[in-house]
Structure 1
Amino acid sequence: MSPAYVTDKMALSDVAMLPGMFTEVCKGTHAYWKMATEGLLAKTDFGGNKIHPIFVALLPPYQVIGPHHPIKSFEDLKGIKIRSSGGSVDLTIRALGATPVKLTGPETREGLERGTIDANLGPNSSLKGYDIFPLAKYGTQGASFGSFVVTYSISDRVWNGLSDEVKQALAKAGEETNTHLCQAHERENLSAIKAMEDLGADFYHPTDADKQAFAATATSVAAQWAKELDDRGKQGSAALAEFKSELGK
């Protein structure tokens, strides 16, 4: 299950999809996994839904990529329509001065061709599967516009009925899978960048000034996200603080 698609049931998992949180997929994966198995998410998003996490997959930091709009600074993102996967990603796109348009992954290519969206916001590692390489003319690299979380779980009812031996085997396999997936995503991300550059893509690498400006934007987005959850009686601020703490370890 992707928490972004069920934010009413797994609201706090959105913390790992906020912008500016991490640049290394494995660091983000291990921080989220710790929260999902031992921290706040274990009690809320998983325990609250009576499910037990088996393994998770976080995607590389999101980049903006599209066919028609050259990007020489983050200012060039203002006013364009950017595909969003929903949740906190909407906040990020609006903070950049752009308009979020919610489309599924398989709808992205058609959206770019028809002009429903001007650019995609997502990880490089997913673009080949959606046949977006030919449309990747302009984009960003080295930014951290958020991520995407996919969780694989088993119901508490079934988990509790398993023997200790089977539980230990699944736990070990889950840990190994987390590491394998995050490393594979890192490799695929680099491979995708090279493939698009070979096809002539022009990527903007943020300057230090742009990075500093966006860091302030990301902090504001995270604070807004946390406050909106706090106001709904959920522990947004606590989740944000815990995720930052785990990332720092």
Structure 2
Amino acid sequence: MKKIFVFPVAFVLFAAIAISPAPAQEKPLTLIYESVYPKGHMRFLVVEEMLDRIEAHSKGRIKVDRHYGEPVSQKEALNALTRGAIDLLVAYPTYYDGKIAIGDWIQLPANFRSWQDCWDLAVNGRVAEIMDQIYLKNARVKYLTSTPVAPYNFQVAKRAKKVRTFEDFKGMKIRSAGGSASIAIKALGASPVMTIGGEYYQAMQKGVVDAGLMTTYSLKQYRLWEVADQVVDPPLVGYSVGFLWMSLKSWEKLSGDLQDMILKTTRSKDLWEKWTQAYEKDQDGPIIAEAKKMGVEFYVLPAREAEKMYQATNSVWDWYVEECEKQGTGAEAREVRKLIQERFKRKNP
């Protein structure tokens, strides 16, 4: 009798397992991403590819809901990220330096001579570690990476005297976005004039400014080649970048393998190399060629004159450390300064 009973029970169990429904597929985690810049901005296309790769490498576990200039304002975006109202944010850290100034090195004079130097320290090195520590502690956001943008050089108005030496900057009225840029311009013996990007063309056309500190792509973006006839290199700001952060609340929801994948993806050197080459060759290259056709001179200061420019603006780094000291991060700022300036000097041609 026992043998007869066991067989039907085993059969029933097997049948129950066979007809039970398959486990439901795991619902993807949707991350709300905000860029404070317009959709399609030429210098943040690299972030779009980062997000594409994150979705692909997650194998359906992560979906990124992308927004541009919303759902929160640029001013409130970092606070929104801290609260977890959004999950991912890309922006210049200088927008939030009243709260956290440690990232202001992105627009300081003589920061990097190349994108490779920037990647080595700020994406894959000690500067990246410091950024992560400070933003985690003071804003409860995870620093994922820096994203390549561009160097900042000078554009000189047609109606202004041309720059040939360091001394020629003295007395000029130079467009500035404020903050460290204004301090650097003062250190050159010039007068900073605050204008937003959209006002730059008119300010140069009307003589409100004699020159401006901006990127090469602004020649096309703001049609500056119509009112400027000189670009002065080497760049005062060697390489500027954006920051990509994730809310700590969102970060802690992720499994360890997804965290590792996101860091590996966003800090990929091949993405930096691909997009910096695209920016320099496919975007800036044609812009420079077109500007030359329109009569814009691309002038490079002699090495001795460039060194005078960098020496004169070195005091901006003192300002950076002082601002960070007010926020309790002076020691970290001094280390960032040492790391970046040592690399810059080591690469001195």
Q: Which has the higher contact order (CA 8 A, sep 6+)?
A: 1
In 2: Cα distance, 1:46 partner to 1:115 partner: 45
- Given residue 183 of structure 1, which amino acid in structure 2 is its aligned partner? Q
Q: Which has the larger radius of gyration?
A: 2
For residue 128 of structure 1, what is the aligned residue in structure 2? 220
Structure 1: 5+ residue runs without aligned partners? Answer: none
Select between 61-70 and 236-245 the one with higher mean Cα deviation: 236-245
Counterpart of 1:20 in structure 2 is 110
User: Are 2:269 and 1:196 aligned?
Assistant: no
Q: Which moved more, 1:34-43 or 1:117-126?
A: 34-43
More helix by share: 1
Q: Which amino acid aligns with 1:13?
A: G
| Alignment deviations for residues 162-217 of structure 1 (CA, whole Å, 9 cap, x no partner) | 22333233223212344433333333334433322222112321112202312322
Choose from 145, 153, 160 the match for 1:63.
153
Is contact 1:62–1:145 with CA below 8 Å preserved after alignment? yes
Aligned residues: 249
The structure-2 alpha-carbon separation of the partners of 1:133 and 1:45, relative to structure 1 and needing over 3 Å to count, comes to: farther
Provide closer, same or farther for how the CA distance between residues 46 and 196 of structure 1 changes in structure 2, counting only shifts above 3 A. farther
Q: 1:4 to 1:101 in 2, by over 3 A?
A: farther
Is 1:56–1:178's contact at 8 Å kept on the other side of the alignment? no
Establish whether residue 211 from structure 1 lines up as the match of residue 211 from structure 2. no
C-alpha contact (below 8 Å) 1:20/1:215 kept by paired residues: yes
Contact 1:85 1:103 in 2 (8 A): yes
Which stretch shifts more, 2-11 or 237-246? 237-246
TM-score, normalization: structure 1?
Answer: 0.85
Relative distance call for 1:120 and 1:193 in structure 2 (3 A) is same
**TM-score, L = length of structure 2:** 0.63
Runs of at least 5 residues in structure 2 that lack an aligned partner in the other structure:
1-90
Amino acid at match of 2:276: C
Which residues of 2 match residues 43-192 of structure 1 at below 5 A? Answer: 43-67=133-157, 68-69=159-160, 70-145=162-237, 147-176=239-268, 177-187=271-281, 188-192=283-287
Helix, strand or coil at the partner of 2:155: strand
Match of 1:234 among 325, 329, 346: 329
1:20-48 Cα shifts (integer Å, max 9, x gaps): 12221332244222468852211113542
Amino acid at match of 2:208: T
**Corresponding residue for residue 122 of structure 2:** 32
Please state how far the C-alpha of 1:102 moved relative to its aligned partner.
Answer: 2.3
Counterpart-to-counterpart distance in 1, 2:336 and 2:212: 28
Whole-Å separation in 2 of the counterparts to 1:107 and 1:169: 42
Please state how far the C-alpha of 1:232 moved relative to its aligned partner.
5.6
SS in 2 for 1:148: strand
The Cα of 1:105 is off from its aligned counterpart by: 2.1
Deviation at 1:159, TM superposition (A): 1.3
CA contact (8 A) 2:92 2:241 kept: yes
Identical-pair percentage: 24
Of residues 84, 89, 93 in structure 2, which corresponds to 1:3?
93
